[in-house]
């Protein structure tokens, strides 16, 4: 743990909050422009979150602002540091990457704020950045050591071979991955993801995370990937490449399992998923079914139509052999005259429905698009569900991340 920040530094950081409220997005955009001048650093980032959607600069602007507001009470920022460290480990972020971010952030502050960025303010932000960086570097080192020591574990990029694949819906395809070296794999914690490094033909090296969609085992991992081809949105470069080019025998570079959105505790559980967000929850459901089939579990899944419902048959079979598991599927585009099965509903999952249907005292695990998560997390909280019983995972940059960091997801 680094030495506490100097009180004068804390005061200066808090004094910059109004400037960050007004100019934070301009600062983070400029920071990324400077970072991406270095191709090796640029390749650490998911470019669809920058030039194509612009979501990552917005997320980081909110993160920097949150860090400044809570610089004297970092405990209020919850598990953000752990979330960041887990992402970094999945993408093999190393200590030598941190100085690049520090230089780009401080230069961007000077570029945007001009004379207002006094030497004292820049020095304070440099001290604050490295205070957080040292915490992250220490936690990431501990995670790397744990991965190296675990049975079947590894650090860095390990070659995996696509053993088989299967279409789960109109847009989702599963890939079973086994180590190319013939060894075992580190059993993941249900809910975790894998990091991938993919070199597209004629393009840069890209890094992505995909949730593990099977129960932990020592032999293989399964990922289930959605083809992204929605009008008006950028196509998923790696996701679509996997659909178009990755078949049995294809070798992929993979990092060890990571992520803090994991199944914990012994009490009742509610799983709520939207679209392809069901993948980490499927790992949880399979684990619950194998370890304690009588444990009360409600799984509510929302999807557009029956054609888009991935793993529909697998979920039904899982429920049939698991006494404690209850399924509910919400179809947004189901025709009015279409027949409904016993566990099918029209429309979207609501927080009110979840609270009414949930087993008493349940912990809620939510995964899906940001609007889905925002509606349910806020709705559950408004209905009295304690924050410690609401856990969630989303795909994409984290808008509420609590500190400036080398965000590479």
Task: Please provide the DSSP assignment of 93-138 as one string.
Answer: --GGGHHHHHHHHHHHHHHHHGGGS-HHHHHHHHHHHHHHHHHHHH
- What pLDDT score does 335 carry? 67
- What pLDDT score does 154 carry? 98
Percent of the chain at pLDDT exceeding 70: 90
Residue 296 in any domain: the answer is: yes
Residue 137 and residue 213 in one domain: no
Q: Number of folded domains in the chain?
A: 3
Phi, psi of 333 (to 5 degrees): -110, 25
CATH number at residue 340: 3.40.50.80
- What pLDDT score does 401 carry? 29
Which residue numbers are catalytic?
A: 98, 140
Distance CA 275, CA 409 (A): 19
Residue 22 and residue 99 in one domain: yes
3-state secondary structure of 368: coil
Residue 145 and residue 34 in one domain: yes
Residue 37 and residue 64 in one domain: yes
- What pLDDT score does 226 carry? 95
Residue 140 and residue 164 in one domain: no
Residue 2 in any domain: the answer is: no
CATH number at residue 237: 2.40.30.10
Residue 400 in any domain: the answer is: no
Secondary structure percentages of the chain, helix, strand, coil, to 5: 45, 20, 40
Residue 287 and residue 245 in one domain: no
Q: What is the mean pLDDT of the chain?
A: 90
- pLDDT-derived band at 236 (thresholds 50, 70, 90) equals confident
Residue 408 in any domain: the answer is: no
Could you tell me which residue, 303 or 56, shows the higher pLDDT? 303
- pLDDT-derived band at 2 (thresholds 50, 70, 90) equals confident
Distance CA 149, CA 144 (A): 9
Residue 406 in any domain: the answer is: no
Residue 348 and residue 226 in one domain: no
Residue 189 and residue 171 in one domain: yes
Last residue of a domain, one of 80, 114, 149: 149
pLDDT, one tens digit per residue, over 146-157 is 999 999 999 999
Residue 179 and residue 248 in one domain: yes
DSSP 8-state symbol, 347 = S
Residue 372 and residue 277 in one domain: yes
For the chain, the C-alpha Rg in angstroms (whole number) is 22
Answer yes or no: are the C-beta atoms of 207 and 193 closer than 8 Å: no
Residue 52 in any domain: the answer is: yes
Residue 191 and residue 144 in one domain: no
Residue 124 and residue 192 in one domain: no
- What pLDDT score does 339 carry? 64
Angle at 262 between CA 256 and CA 263, to 5 degrees: 135
Q: How far is CA 365 from CA 179, 194, 217, 240, 397, in A?
A: 30, 19, 22, 28, 19
Number of H-type helices and E-type strands within the chain: 12, 12
Q: State yes or no: pLDDT of 359 exceeds 80.
A: yes
* Number of C-beta neighbours around residue 353 at 10 A: 17
Which residue range is the domain that position 199 belongs to? 157-258
Residue 229 in any domain: the answer is: yes
CATH number at residue 91: 1.10.490.10
Answer yes or no: are the C-beta atoms of 203 and 238 closer than 8 Å: no
Q: In which element (H, E) is residue 356 found?
A: helix 351-357
Judged by average pLDDT, the poorest of 60-69, 160-169, 337-346 is 337-346
- pLDDT-derived band at 235 (thresholds 50, 70, 90) equals low
Nearest to 101 by CA among 156, 24, 42, 162: 42
Residue 116 in any domain: the answer is: yes
Q: In which element (H, E) is residue 63 found?
A: helix 55-69
Q: State yes or no: pLDDT of 54 exceeds 80.
A: no
Could you tell me which residue, 75 or 407, shows the higher pLDDT? 75
């Amino acid at each position: 743990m680094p030495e506490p920040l100097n009180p004068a530094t804390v005061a200066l950081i808090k004094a910059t909050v109004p400037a960050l409220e007004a100019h934070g997005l301009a600062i983070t955009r400029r920071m990324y422009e400077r970072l991406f001048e270095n191709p090796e650093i640029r390749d650490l980032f998911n470019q669809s979150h920058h030039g194509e959607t612009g979501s990552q600069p917005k997320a980081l602007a909110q993160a920097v602002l949150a860090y400044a507001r809570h610089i004297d009470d970092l405990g209020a920022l919850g598990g953000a540091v752990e979330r960041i460290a887990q992402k970094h480990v999945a993408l093999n972020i190393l200590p030598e990457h941190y100085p690049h971010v520090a230089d780009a952030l401080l230069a961007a502050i000077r570029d945007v704020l001009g004379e207002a960025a006094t030497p004292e303010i820049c020095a304070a932000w440099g001290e604050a950045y490295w205070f957080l960086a040292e915490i992250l570097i220490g936690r990431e080192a501990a995670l790397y050591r744990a991965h190296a020591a675990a049975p079947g574990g590894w650090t860095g990029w390990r070659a995996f071979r696509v053993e088989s694949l299967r279409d789960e819906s109109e847009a989702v395809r599963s890939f079973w991955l086994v180590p190319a070296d013939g060894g075992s794999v580190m059993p993941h914690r249900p809910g975790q993801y894998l990091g991938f490094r993919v070199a597209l033909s004629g393009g840069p090296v890209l890094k992505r995370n995909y949730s593990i969609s099977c129960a932990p085992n020592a032999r293989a991992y399964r990922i289930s990937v959605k083809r992204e081809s929605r009008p008006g949105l950028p196509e998923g470069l790696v996701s679509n490449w996997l659909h178009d080019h990755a078949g049995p025998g294809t070798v992929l570079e993979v990092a060890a399992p990571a992520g803090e959105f994991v199944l914990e505790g012994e009490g009742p559980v509610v799983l709520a998923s939207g679209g392809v967000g069901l993948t980490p929850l499927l790992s949880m459901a399979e684990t619950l079914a194998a370890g304690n089939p009588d444990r009360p579990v409600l799984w509510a899944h929302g999807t557009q139509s029956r054609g888009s419902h991935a793993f529909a048959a697998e979920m039904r079979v899982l429920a049939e052999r698991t006494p404690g598991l209850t399924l509910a599927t919400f179809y947004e585009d189901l025709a009015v005259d279409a027949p409904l099965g016993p566990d099918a509903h029209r429309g979207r999952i609501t927080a009110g429905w979840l609270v009414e249907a949930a087993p008493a005292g349940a912990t809620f695990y939510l995964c899906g698009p940001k609007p889905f998560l925002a509606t349910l997390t806020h709705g559950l909280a408004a209905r009295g569900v304690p924050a410690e019983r609401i856990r969630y995972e989303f795909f994409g940059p984290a808008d509420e991340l609590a500190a400036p960091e080398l965000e590479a997801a």
